Amino acid sequence: MTIEDKVKAVIDQIRPQLMMDGGDVELVGVDGNKVTVRLKGACSGCPASQITLKQGIERIIKENVPEIEEVVGV
């Protein structure tokens, strides 16, 4: 399983929680040890989106895919 496959699997686990609040997350790409995602729906305009990105999505991805060092949003 590639790093990208691992990240996709983790994002699939995170998604239902975001969708319950009207949001979503899309994997844009994996470049080395950096993941780029796009927050969608209610998440895209939410003032707390950076907290969700860094303390939620990034933390969970890094816990499950230790090769990843950073998650950024576009």
Contact 68, 7 (CB under 8 A): yes
**1 pLDDT exceeds 90?**
no
What pLDDT, in 10s, does the model give residues 22-40? 989 999 999 999 999 998 9
pTM for the structure as a whole = 0.89
The per-residue pLDDT for 15 is 92
Q: What are the structural domains of the chain?
A: 3-73 (3.30.300.130)
The pLDDT > 70 percentage for the chain reads: 100
Contact 30, 48 (CB under 8 A): no
The per-residue pLDDT for 3 is 93
Residue among 19, 23, 61 nearest 42 (CA): 23
